[in-house]
Amino acid sequence: MSGRENFAGAVGAVMAMAGSAIGLGNIWRFPYMAGQNGGAAFIIIYLLCVVFLSLPIMLSETIIGRSSHSNAFGAMEKIAPGTGWKWMGLLTVISPLIILSFYSVVGGWSIGFAVKSLYPGFDNSVSSVFGEFSSSAWKPLICHTIFLLVTAVVVKAGIRNGIEKFNKYSLPLLFVLIVLIAVYSLSLPGSEEGVKYLVKPDFSQVTSKTVAYAMGQSFFSLSLGVGTILTYSSYIKKDTDILKASASTAAFDMLFALIAGFAVMPAVFAAGIEPGAGPGLIFETLPFIFVKMSAISPVLSHIVAVLFFLSIVIAALTSSISMYEVGTAYLVEEKHMSRNKAVAVIFAFTWILGILCSLSLGPLSGLKIAGLCVFDFCDVLTSNYLMTFGALLYVVFVGWKMKRQTVWEDFTNGGRQDINVKVFKPLYFLIRYVAPIVVILIFLSNLTL
């Protein structure tokens, strides 16, 4: 498309992709998933999943996006015109919007908690703070609205001036914040147990479920199967090395998840709290820790609490922006809307669905879909089914539908990247055979979880 924007360079592209990958998945989901599934053993399996499964999938998405320079729907039509693949592409335009809806609610909680932790009374009422806050009617709605509005403003500003710029400044800040929190957490008395938990594997707890969860977590954390990496890759220039870009993204994401683990787990053990506390871990557990700390220094406990929730907000924003862009690019390029109008349409959809998700944890808890409240339904539908299905779709498309020569051209930049020429064969094998088989097996096992 003429006049289509792109990222200024390889660094901008990696920052944006890493921004998409690093998010609530790393700070909120990773520590509690590791906590519930055997600590270090889960982490080792997770790392193997990232390298042998998620990286080939990520490359597939990158190849589709970069070689077509199109949105998630248009890319399929451009590469395989007149086939049903575009409808599969459309599915991956819709799924990130569903994720964005509940993601924005959790992003909103983080804003709410960052503000709450400024107040002196924050540490007295902790035990019920999270439940009260997330199930109340209007407070989380206001926070969800603010979170979504900030996302919309960045996306509206465009690829270079909005998305690239935001990621360029916020990602380094995020790393600094999380390292500071980890250092603080590690300095707490009793934190050694948490470190042990993260580095000493206990394989006796590992089951096939652990592997399924580790794979699901790596898909979620790397933003796979829902068109975000595809859409961002469509803004990557032709001469950028996509293996380097994808591998760096995965490496940053893993590094961040590990540091977040060291920020959360030592504090959890220092406070003597059960590591498998589940999704409420960082919202319910950490405030307890801040209370404990306030016995030592109330001011410090407030500062750490604010910084911690602020870092969650930033991490969530860099991800929500990428989800928002998938739908925006689709509406602009396929429905010929102006960028402003497209941003407004996406806002309306995700704002309303987000309101339903939020209310479903409180006043609307009686409204059930397949036995689940709206929030949980959207989460399970996307994390367990749509993401896995989308990931399968992308590897099958690259491995079986696209011509090998086209894939080779794109992967090696026309044979100009020496290392990529060398690793093409094994990676293509992973994309064509290993990834689809493993993803299908896990998909089936998800049905029985």
Residues of the shown chain interacting with ligand PHE in the complex, contacts defined by CB under 6 A: 20-21, 23-26, 96, 99, 220-221, 223, 226, 228, 319, 322-323
3-state secondary structure of 240: coil
Q: Where are the beta strands (DSSP E) in 133-249?
A: none
3-state secondary structure of 372: strand
Beta carbons within 10 angstroms of residue 169's beta carbon: 11
Residue at token pair 């520590």: 31
Q: How far is the CB of 103 from ligand PHE (least distance, A)?
A: 7
Q: How far is the CB of 253 from ligand PHE (least distance, A)?
A: 7
- Considering beta carbons, is residue 291 or 378 the nearer one to ligand PHE? 378
Q: Tokens at residue 432, please?
A: 């064509």
- Considering beta carbons, is residue 191 or 322 the nearer one to ligand PHE? 322
The alpha carbon dihedral of 269, 272, 277, 283 has a sign of negative
- Considering beta carbons, is residue 230 or 304 the nearer one to ligand PHE? 230
Q: How far is the CB of 95 from ligand PHE (least distance, A)?
A: 8
Q: How far is the CB of 417 from ligand PHE (least distance, A)?
A: 26
- Considering beta carbons, is residue 229 or 355 the nearer one to ligand PHE? 229
Whole-number Cα distances in Å, 417 to 287, 336, 353: 49, 36, 44
Q: Tokens at residue 179, please?
A: 């390292």
- Considering beta carbons, is residue 60 or 417 the nearer one to ligand PHE? 60
Considering only CA atoms, which of 241, 250, 286 is closest in space to residue 31?
Answer: 286
Residue at token pair 């998945």: 25
- Considering beta carbons, is residue 28 or 288 the nearer one to ligand PHE? 28
Whole-number Cα distances in Å, 153 to 81, 123, 179, 317: 34, 33, 28, 11
Q: How far is the CB of 428 from ligand PHE (least distance, A)?
A: 25
Q: What are phi and psi of 368, to 5 degrees?
A: -120, 140
Cβ density class 232-262: b for 16+ within 10 Å, e for less: bbbbbeeebbbbebbbbbbebbbebbbbbbb
- Considering beta carbons, is residue 224 or 305 the nearer one to ligand PHE? 224
3-state secondary structure of 156: helix
- Considering beta carbons, is residue 245 or 270 the nearer one to ligand PHE? 245
**Residue 243's Cα: distance from chain center in Å?**
20
Q: How far is the CB of 312 from ligand PHE (least distance, A)?
A: 10
Consecutive H or E run containing 312: helix 298-334
Q: How far is the CB of 99 from ligand PHE (least distance, A)?
A: 5
Q: How far is the CB of 98 from ligand PHE (least distance, A)?
A: 10
- Considering beta carbons, is residue 29 or 86 the nearer one to ligand PHE? 29
Q: How far is the CB of 416 from ligand PHE (least distance, A)?
A: 30
- Residue 221 and residue 334: Cα distance in Å, rounded? 28
